[in-house]
Structures are given as structure tokens and as C-alpha cells.
Amino acid sequence: MTPPSPDTIYFYAQTDPYAEFSNFAPYGVCFEDIWWPTVEHYFQAMKFHDAAYRTRIRRCQKPKDAKALGMTRKVPLRADWEEVKDDIMYAAVLCKFRTHGAPRQLLLGTGDAPLVENAPMDAYWGCGPDGLGLNKLGRILMRVRGELAEDAAALKR
Ligand SMILES: Nc1c(N[C@@H]2O[C@H](COP(=O)(O)O)[C@@H](O)[C@H]2O)[nH]c(=O)[nH]c1=O
């Protein structure tokens, strides 16, 4: 990844600005009539075909607990996870921002600013320890921002 520009917006912890952009933020999503407390709960549960284990993840009090259950390899990971995980994340993040007005307005208000998940240990979804990670979550947020701007423009037509 190229180095960040000066107007880059970083997000990660729930105690930092733009916490609403994190998958740990308390904005639920609904898929197939089932409500998930956060994007993180949904994303972690989708790693597994085991319905009971998915439910266990959904019932976690906190997203960090959902993530911990999702990190286990005692329950088999679905075989196609690496192929489907980006699409699952995109669908969940889009659903979150279409469902909840407050984070949607915050996201639309960032204009064209680059968005980066400042995750120190994650060079896939975030920028990783050296800041040069793939930042897939930030990229998804920028794509979702474009979709939301189109939604808003269509409403005005
Ligand atoms: N925000 C945030 C994290 N980042 C989130 O972790 C998820 C990646 O999970 P996995 O693909 O299983 O490694 C993804 O949703 C990413 O945004 N991790 C944390 O431990 N704490 C946090 O506050």
C-alpha cells in the first residue's frame, strides 16, 4: 500500500475518534431475520457452518468475546472462508451503515478522506504494525461510503 495522505482518518478503539467505523461499535445488523449485536459478531460467526456455534457467538456480551470464539480452530472453519470473507465483510458493513443513521452521517461527512483501520496486529483488515498493511476494512468503508452517497443522491432525484 502507498503511504497515507495527511487527511487520512484513522479509527480502531472504542475510546478513539471515529470509533463508529470499527466493527466493534454497538451497531447491529440483520441477516435472514436474525439480529447480530455488532458486525464483529456476525463476521466471526460466519466462519463456521455449525449453527449452534454461530448462535453461541451471536449471544456473546461483547464483540471481543465474539472475536475470541471466532479465533478458535477447535470448531472447523468453513472450507471456503478465505474466498468468501471479503464479501461477507462488505455485506455486513454495508448493512450496518444502511441501518444506522448516526454512523452513516459520520461516514458521509468524511468526504474523500482515506480511511484506515489502525489495527497494530492486523495487516489484512487494518494497516498492521508498519502502517503499510492491506487495510481491507478501510477500503470496504470507502466503497460503502460511495454506495451511501449514491443512495442519498437517488433520494434527491
Ligand atoms: N477493531 C478491533 C479489531 N479489528 C477487527 O477484527 C476483525 C478481524 O478478525 P479476524 O479476521 O478473525 O482476524 C475485523 O473485524 C477487524 O476489523 N480487533 C480487535 O481485537 N480489537 C478491535 O478493537
The number of distinct structural domains making up the chain is 1
Supply the pTM of this predicted model.
0.95
pLDDT at 133 over 70: yes
Which residues constitute the domain of residue 45?
9-156
- Residue 23 is assigned to a structural domain of this protein: yes
The preferred substitution site among 38, 67, 124, 127 for testing ligand 1, maximizing ligand atoms within 8 Å of CB, is: 67
Which residue's C-alpha cell is 455485506?
91
Mean pLDDT of 123-151: 97
Q: Do the domain assignments include residue 94?
A: yes
Cα separation, 117 vs 135, in Å, equals 6
Cβ neighbors of 9 (< 8 A, separation 6 or more) are 18, 110, 113, 114, 115, 116
Q: Is residue 4 part of a domain?
A: no
2-59, pLDDT tens digit by residue?
566 879 999 999 999 999 999 999 999 999 999 999 999 999 999 999 999 999 999 9
For residue 63, being part of any structural domain is answered with: yes
For 54, phi then psi, to 5°, come to -60, -45
The alpha carbon of 153 and the centre of ligand 1 are apart by a number of angstroms equal to 32
Spell out which residues line ligand 1, taking CB within 6 angstroms: 12-13, 22-24, 40, 43, 67, 70-71, 117, 119, 122, 125, 137
Asked if residue 99 is part of any domain, the answer here is yes
Pocket test for ligand 1, best of 122, 135, 141 (most atoms within 8 A of CB): 122
User: In the predicted model, what is the mean pLDDT of residues 109-124?
Assistant: 97
**Within a domain: residue 13?**
yes
Decide if pLDDT at 1 tops 60: no
d(CA 110, CA 102): 13
Chain mean pLDDT for the chain = 96
DSSP character string of 68-114 = HHHT-SSSPPPTTHHHHHHHHHHHHHHHHHHH-HHHHHHHHTTTT--
User: Above 90 in pLDDT, residue 152?
Assistant: no
